[in-house]
Amino acid sequence: MTKIPDKDRVDSLIKHFWKNGFLTLSRKHGTYLPTPSPVGVYEVDAVGKLNKKYVLGLTLTKDDIQNPNILRKIKFLANQKSKFSLQKVTLFLGCSDEICSEVKSLLSELDENIRKNIKIVSTSPKND
């Protein structure tokens, strides 16, 4: 299993934002955009917007999956609403193909209403 650099994982996540029509407002490891502000006590990798709909991006690694608090973090981020319109915010979870099945099984523990706000995307280089 090859380790994908953080910058490449975030770049791949941003490409999925673009494919879905979202404009990137802030991102980690970028040159021209600011780093996203923490959401609650949690850091996110990217924030995007399409009209009045917002999206949060988070990349996961094997170490993140093994963290006992990751489910709490995902649940918190998936329950976020925009500040003024109170629309639900979509959470893009970027993961490599190797851990995709583990992420899906982890998300199966969440409530159906929360899972509706989560979209799993691949950050493996071959899918770009």
Predicted TM-score (pTM) of this structure:
0.85
pLDDT digits (tens, 9 = 90+) for 74-96: 999 988 888 887 888 899 998 88
- What is the predicted pLDDT for the residue at 38? 85
Domains for the chain: give ranges and CATH numbers.
Answer: 6-127 (3.40.1350)
Q: Which of 50, 30, 42 is nearest to 90 (CA)?
A: 50
Q: 55: which strand partners?
A: 48, 90
- What is the predicted pLDDT for the residue at 126? 64
Residues of the chain with pLDDT under 50: 127-128
